[in-house]
Amino acid sequence: MEKTWRWFGPDDKITLDMLRQIGVEGIVTALHHIPNGEIWTYDEVMKMKNFIESHGLRWSVVESLPVSESIKYAGPDRDELIGKYIESLANLGKAGVRTVCYNFMPVLDWARTDLDYPNPDGTTNLYFNRGEFAYFDCCILKRPGASADYDESTLSRMEEIKSRMTPEQEHRLVENIIVKTQGFVNGNITENDAAPVEKFRSLLKLYEGVDRDTLRGNMKYFLEAIMPVCNEYDINMCVHPDDPPLQILGLPRIVTCDEDIRWFLDAVPDPHNGLTFCAGSLSGGAHNDVPALARKYASRTHFVHARICNVMPNGDFKESSHLDPRLIDVIRTFERENPGVPMRVDHAPLMLGDEKMGYNAGYSFHGRMLALGMVSGIMAAVNTDNN
Ligand code: DNO
């Protein structure tokens, strides 16, 4: 696999020169300064590409070219927005940037309740606490009928959390779930929003009446519309699985499991319609056998995210080590079946001073560097076995 790294542009505290020193070969980035839904012009794409290349690296993957909410729920301006998306793709294609990651998650991109959950060794990790998530849904968002979506034991955990929740903790939960994890990925809510919960409620309203089948239809419509430009420029689209791979907050989610992946690949059977194999997102659902999914979908995978989670019996999940045997299995599969695919490590712990640097959640320097070292070691060992 090509060793890549998610870099957030010239303002990222981690510089391209630092990345060259640690064995990174390709860069994963986006034009984060261009608002969601606007065209990425050829000039802006080339500016970024030239900047990366002037540091001896290449722009391997776009993560993400964001799909506007209105394309997902089929708003009145969806064709206009798809037209702009096609233009951005053409400009990327002309510049030779040919792998584009996106997601089709309504309203909320990835979700976590805790961004610095302490590990016994003094590092911290991302964590998803199902009880706290239920508290956010039922007691902060106050979504009508929300409690019906949780089982008895989660609801009793939620009651216990409620009895000791302070206003500061509540604020932190809102920040973690809908603010700090969203702004830097060009999500709907940013740190500048004064009333994030109200804004979030109005976004949820856009999806009233949109069920899984409707969302699937909208994804198919979008993919069919963009496939001609992808064919013209040989652009590989790769959808990111839903994180977590579960139905949440009453919203439909359609990239959660084997059957979902099979569906969207078959619905638009063009090889340019592919998957971002985010082992970590898929592993957040106990229903997914991640190594088996890697074997099944390696050939339709255009981008790999190397990380993996442990799901606990109560539905909580936490990032596991990059040396987890399931991840070793996944890496072995890709090294054998799709060795040129770009891969980046993801969601590594905060360690050795990372916590003071204000990095985007999940995107530490030391933690990711260690993870890249681990994954590189696994790749080297696997390739020795292959020979
Ligand atoms: C979180 C990321 C996601 C991902 C998008 C892709 O850390 O994995 O935000 O970039 O879902 O569109």
Summarised one tens digit per residue, pLDDT across range 64-116 is 999 999 999 999 999 999 999 999 999 999 999 999 999 999 999 999 999 99
Tell whether the model's pLDDT for residue 7 goes beyond 90.
yes
pLDDT digits (tens, 9 = 90+) for 197-231: 999 999 999 999 999 999 999 999 999 999 999 99
Kindly state if the Cβ of 103 falls inside 6 Å of ligand 1.
yes
Kindly state if the Cβ of 63 falls inside 6 Å of ligand 1.
yes
User: How wide is the angle at C-alpha 114 spanned by C-alphas 112 and 115, nearest 5°?
Assistant: 90
Q: What is the pLDDT of residue 385?
A: 72
- The answer to whether 347 is a known catalytic residue is yes
pLDDT digits (tens, 9 = 90+) for 263-309: 999 999 999 999 999 999 999 999 999 999 999 999 999 999 999 99
Mean pLDDT throughout 337-353?
Answer: 96
The first and second tokens of residue 162, run together, are: 């409620």
pLDDT digits (tens, 9 = 90+) for 372-386: 999 999 999 999 976
Choice among 346, 354, 359, 366 that is catalytic: 346
pLDDT band at 133 (very low <50, low <70, confident <90, very high): very high
Mean pLDDT throughout 238-263?
Answer: 97
Q: What is the pLDDT of residue 387?
A: 60
Distance from C-alpha of 19 to C-alpha of 13, rounded to nearest angstrom: 11
Does 194 or 218 have the greater pLDDT score?
Answer: 218
Q: What is the DSSP string of 294-341?
A: HHHHGGGEEEEEE--EEE-TTS-EEE--TT-HHHHHHHHHHHHH-TT-
Choice among 150, 278, 302, 329 that is catalytic: 278
Tell whether the model's pLDDT for residue 39 goes beyond 80.
yes
pLDDT band at 10 (very low <50, low <70, confident <90, very high): very high
Mean pLDDT throughout 342-365?
Answer: 96
Kindly state if the Cβ of 101 falls inside 6 Å of ligand 1.
yes
User: How wide is the angle at C-alpha 178 spanned by C-alphas 169 and 197, nearest 5°?
Assistant: 80
The first and second tokens of residue 339, run together, are: 């060795």
CATH 3.20.20.150 domain range(s) in the chain: 2-110+210-386
CA atoms within 13 A on the CB side of 48: 27
Q: What is the pLDDT of residue 152?
A: 97
- Predicted TM-score (pTM) of the model is 0.97
Q: What is the pLDDT of residue 131?
A: 98
Tell whether the model's pLDDT for residue 12 goes beyond 90.
yes
Classified by CATH at the fold level, domain 2-110+210-386 comes out as: TIM Barrel (3.20.20)
> Which amino acid, residue 375?
V
- The answer to whether 272 is a known catalytic residue is no
Nearest atom (ligand 1) to Cα of 280: 8
> E strand or H helix at 5, and its extent?
strand 2-6
Q: Which residue has the tokens 């604020």?
A: 171
Distance from C-alpha of 119 to C-alpha of 130, rounded to nearest angstrom: 18
Task: Choose the residue to mutate in 65, 102, 109, 189 for probing ligand 1, maximizing ligand atoms within 8 Å of C-beta.
Answer: 109
What are the helix (H) ranges across 136-270?
152-164, 167-174, 196-205, 212-233, 258-267
Cβ atoms of 292 and 272 within 8 Å: the answer is no
What are the helix (H) ranges across 22-127?
42-53, 69-73, 78-95
The alpha carbon of 109 and the centre of ligand 1 are apart by a number of angstroms equal to 7
- The answer to whether 305 is a known catalytic residue is yes
Closest to 347 in 3D by CA, of 185, 186, 193: 185
Number of residues written out for the chain: 387
Q: What is the pLDDT of residue 386?
A: 62
Q: Is-cis flag, bond preceding 244, omega within 30?
A: yes
